[in-house]
Amino acid sequence: MARSSTASQPDALPLTQIGRYELIEEIGQGGMGQVFRARDPLIERDVAIKTIPLHLDAEARREFEVRFLREAQSAGRLSHPNIVTIYDVGETDELIYIAMEYLPGKNLREILDACNGLPLDLMIDTALQMAEGLAYAHEHGVVHRDVKPSNVIVSADRGTIKLTDFSIAYLAAASDKTRAGMMLGSPRYMSPEQVRGEAVDGRSDIFSLGAVCHEMLTGRPVFDAEALPALLFRIVNSPVPAPGELRAGIPPELDRIILKCLAKHPQDRYATAGDLAADLRRLQQHPDAPPRAPARPRWGRYFLATALMLLAGWALYRMGWESHQTERAPLLAQSAAPAAVPVPPLPSTLPTTALPPPAVLGLTPHHKSSISVLTLPADTPYIRGIDQKIAELEVKRSELLAKYTPLYPDVIAAEKQLKKLRADRAKYLRAHGAAGSAADPQKK
């Protein structure tokens, strides 16, 4: 990042230039620094300049510059209709700055302060655009960390919603060692995991968006208190009232959507901002539609699928057995017909020397399959072994499906073993037809 000496001004003199940007007017001020409308003389366009003061020693400054550049580059890669575009980053002797898209209009904080809640259709459209912008950012690995009304610009051009200040909260906190370990973000809109100082992901932004949506409907913050400790306690512990309890005419489905965003535990919220946007879009298109039925527990679907698979397997097994019996019937009838000549009864056991070994008969190993007896394949030790393994794996798979998702590695391994065993069984039956082999098929 190139340094600019022109921006270093005595405290008594106002800034007139930052880097190459000529300052026109101050358009905002916050805890992190000032926001200016400025002119880029190279391409003659207006930009917004956001500044963050630096009060660091040389070593801390170098560390911060690396982190700042990384975060700014991440946010600068975002190009979406609902995200303010970042044009440039730089630093002077006393501050760092970000040049971004200048948008004439108001921020959502100013609009909410002037009214007691937004009209329902306008609120849903605003929330939908915010969710779509967050979904794009999360897909590109950028978490906002500070979603709040003052970071939402309502453009004067067709009411387009623009999210701004991506990762600025992180950068501002990193710019001062005395603020290390502080909670990042605006307290009223923090997620419980932010309050506890834990790692955050996109679901934290979804919680903050839910808090903004609640306020857009009711006209007041969902979490508020005079003292910061009390506010943080409420965020982590207090139940959230449905907006419909505070304002009449709110569809139950919208209540459900907002309360899901504001769940205390991240795993109970929307998994992605894209899922949230899909529900908001559905509600926008069909505002009078009844709320969706809650999804059944996933394990119930697994039990049902397992039962159906077992039933289908049993039916196929029975069909194959009956077909086998039909093909075997003529042979059984022939063997049951009375003999023309009386035959003396066979001994209960045959001597082991009744049949000479294959070598005596001049048979080579590949001739072993030519010695056959009238035995059903399902009665051979090989088939019985496969059937037993199939039954054991069916039970194991049922237990795994009841406990894990279908993508769990144990389930996939069991499925592969079952598939292979069934293929081996079918191959064996096709090769031998209705008659088994006297030789052990596993040694072929």
Active-site residues: which are they? 146
State which amino acid sits at residue 262: L
Give DSSP secondary structure letters for 270-309: -SSHHHHHHHHHHHHH-TTSPPPPPPPPHHHHHHHHHHHH
CA 148 to chain CA centroid, Å, is: 23
Q: How many Cα atoms are found within 13 Å in the side-chain-facing hemisphere of 195?
A: 21
Q: Return d(Cα 18, Cα 96) in angstroms, integer.
A: 10
310: exposed, middle or buried (C-beta count within 10 Å: 0-12, 13-18, 19+)?
middle
Q: Return d(Cα 159, Cα 106) in angstroms, integer.
A: 10
Helices (H), 77-184: 108-113, 120-139, 168-174
Q: Return d(Cα 229, Cα 15) in angstroms, integer.
A: 38
CA nearest to 302, candidates 418, 410, 416, 400: 400
DSSP secondary-structure letter at 442? G
DSSP secondary-structure letter at 182? P
The encoded tokens of residue 383 equal 């088939």
Is 90 within 8 Å of 208 (Cβ atoms)?
no
Go through 17-39 and write b for each residue having 16 or more CB atoms within 10 A of its CB, e for each that does not.
bbbbbebeeeeeeeebbbbbbbb
3-state helix, strand, coil in the chain (%, to 5): 50, 15, 35
Task: Based on DSSP, count helices (H) and strands (E) in the chain, helices before strands.
Answer: 13, 12
Q: How many Cα atoms are found within 13 Å in the side-chain-facing hemisphere of 230?
A: 4
DSSP secondary-structure letter at 371? -
Q: In this structure, is the dihedral angle defined by the CA atoms of residues 138, 139, 142 and 148, taken in order, positive or negative?
A: negative
